[in-house]
Amino acid sequence: MNQDELKKAVGVKSVDFIESNSVIGLGTGSTVYYMIEELGKRYQNGDIKNIVGVATSSRSQKQAESLGIPMKDLNDVDHIDLTIDGADQIDKNFQGIKGGGAAHLLEKMVATNSHKNIWIVDQSKMADELGSFPLPTEVIPFGCEKTFSDLKAENLHPEFRLDENGKRVLTHNKNYVIDLKMGSIKHPHLLADWLDHQVGIVAHGLFLDLVNKVVVGYDDGPKVIE
Ligand code: 5RP
């Protein structure tokens, strides 16, 4: 199976965990695309009833709406039962890096308001240690050169994320993304704590202690790891 087929297989499989009468957080990305597509099918044929979705990006919002899935804003639900999202890298302790699609701030807000979180990934995302995938941060434009210098001084190898025209990528909230290209993250909790205390950084892509179930796409089919 190619990577896209693996993503589709886990996206479809993950919908088995969605129950009727629940509020579902919808992540962002090419793997989540398949999950939302399958959820739309099962909602339309009545296998899953009475759900509300909470999106983590305008992409997922639009896709879910186009399939007729009722959607609400995070402000308008009192809880989320389950969020299903993709990830960029997951270590053996289920700690993860997210934000490859620059949606990590909204994804983290939805994830931390969810009773349960499931990640869906193809096998290439599983790693012994985090860090070979660059760690995204989201920084406010005001004073961003100072924020950049602080990250550099900490030896975190920052780089502004650029689009195909060489312009700085803007997030949903019109902030910049600085990727940290460290190669290896030995102490994710210490790093997350330091990043959490930097005033100009709105969010970072370390998602720690949030997930206890991952659906991984292997060539012989999706496996649920808990
Ligand atoms: C977006 C994310 C995505 O979930 C992550 O990048 C995985 O994406 P994909 O399923 O396309 O590989 O964190 O901010």
pLDDT along the chain (226 residues), means of 10: 96 98 98 98 98 98 98 98 98 97 98 98 98 98 98 98 98 97 97 98 98 96 97
CA nearest 64: which of 80, 52, 74? 52
The dihedral region occupied by 159, where left means phi > 0, alpha psi between -120 and 50, and beta the remainder, is beta
CB-based contact 44:38 (threshold 8 Å): no
**Atom from ligand 1 closest to the CA of residue 27:** 4
- Report pLDDT for 212: 87
Q: Which of 88, 109, 175, 210, when mutated, tests ligand 1's pocket best, judged by the most ligand atoms within 8 Å of its CB?
A: 88
DSSP assignment, residue 19?
P
86 is in an annotated binding site: yes
* Residues noted as catalytic: 107
HSE toward the beta carbon, residue 146, CA cutoff 13 A: 8
| Cα(145) to centroid(ligand 1), Å | 27
99 is in an annotated binding site: yes
Task: Enumerate residues 6+ apart whose C-beta is below 8 A from 192.
Answer: 204, 206, 208
**Atom from ligand 1 closest to the CA of residue 86:** 4
State whether ipTM is beyond 0.95: yes
The dihedral region occupied by 99, where left means phi > 0, alpha psi between -120 and 50, and beta the remainder, is left
Tokens 């992409």 locate to: 59
41 is in an annotated binding site: no
- Report pLDDT for 98: 98
- Report pLDDT for 39: 98
Which protein residues touch ligand 1 with a CB less than 6 Å away?
A: 27-31, 85-88, 98-104, 107
SS3 42: helix
Tokens 């001084």 locate to: 153
| Cα(29) to centroid(ligand 1), Å | 4
SS (H, E, C) 122-153: EHHHECCCCCCCCEEEEECCCCHHHHHHHHHH
HSE toward the beta carbon, residue 95, CA cutoff 13 A: 16
209 is in an annotated binding site: no
| Cα(120) to centroid(ligand 1), Å | 10
| Cα(85) to centroid(ligand 1), Å | 8
pTM tops 0.90: yes
